[in-house]
Structure 1
Amino acid sequence: MRVFVMDNNIDQALKVLKKRLQREGLFREMKRRRAYEKPSERRIRERAEAVRRSHKLARKKAQREGLIAAPKRVEKKRPTSVPR
Protein backbone atom coordinates (compact mmCIF):
# COMPACT_ATOMS: atom_id res chain seq x y z
CA MET A 1 0.00 0.00 0.00
CA ARG A 2 1.38 3.39 -0.96
CA VAL A 3 0.45 6.86 0.19
CA PHE A 4 2.00 9.78 -1.60
CA VAL A 5 3.01 12.91 0.30
CA MET A 6 2.13 16.08 -1.57
CA ASP A 7 3.78 19.41 -0.70
CA ASN A 8 5.40 17.93 2.45
CA ASN A 9 1.93 17.56 3.97
CA ILE A 10 2.61 14.57 6.24
CA ASP A 11 -0.52 15.10 8.33
CA GLN A 12 -2.75 14.63 5.29
CA ALA A 13 -0.76 11.55 4.19
CA LEU A 14 -1.13 10.01 7.66
CA LYS A 15 -4.85 10.67 7.59
CA VAL A 16 -5.15 8.92 4.22
CA LEU A 17 -3.02 5.99 5.44
CA LYS A 18 -5.11 5.52 8.59
CA LYS A 19 -8.32 5.60 6.56
CA ARG A 20 -6.99 2.95 4.15
CA LEU A 21 -5.80 0.72 7.00
CA GLN A 22 -9.17 1.10 8.71
CA ARG A 23 -10.96 0.13 5.50
CA GLU A 24 -8.73 -2.95 5.12
CA GLY A 25 -9.58 -4.06 8.66
CA LEU A 26 -6.00 -4.02 9.92
CA PHE A 27 -6.79 -2.33 13.23
CA ARG A 28 -9.59 -4.81 13.95
CA GLU A 29 -7.22 -7.70 13.16
CA MET A 30 -4.49 -6.32 15.45
CA LYS A 31 -6.97 -5.92 18.30
CA ARG A 32 -8.24 -9.46 17.78
CA ARG A 33 -4.73 -10.95 17.89
CA ARG A 34 -3.69 -9.29 21.16
CA ALA A 35 -4.98 -12.21 23.19
CA TYR A 36 -5.55 -15.90 22.55
CA GLU A 37 -8.94 -16.78 21.14
CA LYS A 38 -10.36 -20.19 21.92
CA PRO A 39 -11.47 -22.23 18.88
CA SER A 40 -15.08 -22.22 20.12
CA GLU A 41 -15.02 -18.42 20.47
CA ARG A 42 -13.50 -18.15 17.01
CA ARG A 43 -16.29 -20.23 15.46
CA ILE A 44 -18.93 -18.14 17.21
CA ARG A 45 -17.31 -14.89 16.03
CA GLU A 46 -16.95 -16.12 12.45
CA ARG A 47 -20.60 -17.24 12.32
CA ALA A 48 -21.73 -13.88 13.68
CA GLU A 49 -19.62 -12.07 11.07
CA ALA A 50 -21.14 -14.23 8.31
CA VAL A 51 -24.67 -13.43 9.52
CA ARG A 52 -23.81 -9.73 9.68
CA ARG A 53 -22.45 -9.81 6.11
CA SER A 54 -25.50 -11.65 4.76
CA HIS A 55 -27.88 -9.20 6.46
CA LYS A 56 -25.92 -6.30 5.01
CA LEU A 57 -26.09 -7.77 1.50
CA ALA A 58 -29.82 -8.42 1.84
CA ARG A 59 -30.38 -4.85 3.06
CA LYS A 60 -28.40 -3.40 0.15
CA LYS A 61 -30.29 -5.58 -2.34
CA ALA A 62 -33.63 -4.45 -0.90
CA GLN A 63 -32.52 -0.81 -1.16
CA ARG A 64 -31.51 -1.28 -4.81
CA GLU A 65 -34.85 -2.89 -5.61
CA GLY A 66 -36.71 -0.09 -3.83
CA LEU A 67 -38.29 -2.28 -1.17
CA ILE A 68 -36.85 -0.16 1.63
CA ALA A 69 -35.70 3.44 1.65
CA ALA A 70 -32.00 4.14 1.39
CA PRO A 71 -30.46 6.01 4.33
CA LYS A 72 -30.16 9.74 3.94
CA ARG A 73 -26.68 10.93 3.12
CA VAL A 74 -25.35 13.81 5.18
CA GLU A 75 -22.99 16.01 3.22
CA LYS A 76 -20.11 17.57 5.09
CA LYS A 77 -19.84 21.29 4.56
CA ARG A 78 -16.37 22.73 4.16
CA PRO A 79 -15.59 26.06 5.75
CA THR A 80 -15.38 28.70 3.05
CA SER A 81 -12.78 30.81 4.81
CA VAL A 82 -10.05 28.14 4.72
CA PRO A 83 -8.06 28.14 1.46
CA ARG A 84 -7.49 24.78 -0.22
Structure 2
Amino acid sequence: MSIESDRNIVEQYNAMCRRAEEGDPSARAVKFIIDAVLEDKLAIDQLRMISNANKKDGPMAVHELFVTFYKQPQQEGAAAI
Protein backbone atom coordinates (compact mmCIF):
# COMPACT_ATOMS: atom_id res chain seq x y z
CA MET A 1 0.00 0.00 0.00
CA SER A 2 1.05 3.54 -0.52
CA ILE A 3 1.58 5.95 2.33
CA GLU A 4 -1.47 7.89 1.15
CA SER A 5 -3.75 4.85 1.27
CA ASP A 6 -2.31 3.91 4.69
CA ARG A 7 -3.20 7.37 5.99
CA ASN A 8 -6.67 7.12 4.49
CA ILE A 9 -7.28 3.79 6.24
CA VAL A 10 -6.06 5.19 9.55
CA GLU A 11 -8.27 8.26 9.17
CA GLN A 12 -11.30 6.09 8.37
CA TYR A 13 -10.59 3.84 11.36
CA ASN A 14 -10.19 6.83 13.68
CA ALA A 15 -13.44 8.36 12.41
CA MET A 16 -15.23 5.05 12.94
CA CYS A 17 -13.81 4.81 16.49
CA ARG A 18 -15.08 8.34 17.25
CA ARG A 19 -18.55 7.40 16.01
CA ALA A 20 -18.43 4.23 18.12
CA GLU A 21 -17.54 6.27 21.21
CA GLU A 22 -20.47 8.56 20.45
CA GLY A 23 -22.79 5.55 20.51
CA ASP A 24 -23.31 4.80 16.80
CA PRO A 25 -24.37 1.12 16.88
CA SER A 26 -23.05 0.37 13.39
CA ALA A 27 -19.67 1.87 14.18
CA ARG A 28 -19.54 -0.04 17.47
CA ALA A 29 -20.22 -3.31 15.65
CA VAL A 30 -17.57 -2.60 13.01
CA LYS A 31 -15.02 -1.65 15.66
CA PHE A 32 -15.75 -4.82 17.62
CA ILE A 33 -15.25 -6.95 14.50
CA ILE A 34 -12.03 -5.15 13.54
CA ASP A 35 -10.71 -5.56 17.08
CA ALA A 36 -11.54 -9.28 16.96
CA VAL A 37 -9.56 -9.65 13.73
CA LEU A 38 -6.62 -7.69 15.13
CA GLU A 39 -6.61 -9.82 18.30
CA ASP A 40 -6.67 -13.04 16.20
CA LYS A 41 -10.07 -13.99 17.56
CA LEU A 42 -11.51 -13.89 14.05
CA ALA A 43 -9.77 -15.09 10.88
CA ILE A 44 -10.07 -13.36 7.53
CA ASP A 45 -11.89 -16.39 6.10
CA GLN A 46 -14.39 -16.18 8.94
CA LEU A 47 -14.82 -12.49 8.23
CA ARG A 48 -15.64 -13.32 4.60
CA MET A 49 -18.19 -15.89 5.79
CA ILE A 50 -19.77 -13.24 8.02
CA SER A 51 -19.94 -10.83 5.09
CA ASN A 52 -21.57 -13.46 2.89
CA ALA A 53 -24.06 -14.34 5.63
CA ASN A 54 -24.98 -10.66 5.93
CA LYS A 55 -25.66 -10.42 2.21
CA LYS A 56 -27.65 -13.65 2.15
CA ASP A 57 -29.42 -13.96 5.52
CA GLY A 58 -29.18 -10.58 7.25
CA PRO A 59 -27.99 -9.23 10.61
CA MET A 60 -29.35 -11.97 12.87
CA ALA A 61 -27.42 -14.65 10.97
CA VAL A 62 -24.31 -12.48 11.16
CA HIS A 63 -24.67 -12.12 14.92
CA GLU A 64 -25.00 -15.86 15.47
CA LEU A 65 -22.08 -16.66 13.16
CA PHE A 66 -19.87 -13.99 14.72
CA VAL A 67 -20.55 -15.23 18.25
CA THR A 68 -19.76 -18.81 17.17
CA PHE A 69 -16.47 -17.77 15.55
CA TYR A 70 -15.54 -15.40 18.37
CA LYS A 71 -15.92 -18.11 21.03
CA GLN A 72 -14.04 -20.81 19.08
CA PRO A 73 -10.47 -19.64 19.72
CA GLN A 74 -11.24 -19.07 23.38
CA GLN A 75 -12.63 -22.59 23.76
CA GLU A 76 -9.68 -24.13 21.88
CA GLY A 77 -7.25 -22.22 24.07
CA ALA A 78 -9.04 -23.34 27.22
CA ALA A 79 -8.95 -26.97 26.04
CA ALA A 80 -5.20 -26.73 25.44
CA ILE A 81 -4.52 -25.64 29.04
Shorter-chain TM-score above 0.5: no
Structure with the larger RCO, 1 or 2 (CA within 8 Å, 6+ apart): 2
Please tell me the TM-score bracket, short chain as reference. Answer: 0.3 to 0.5
For normalisation by structure 2, the TM-score amounts to: 0.33
For normalisation by structure 1, the TM-score amounts to: 0.32
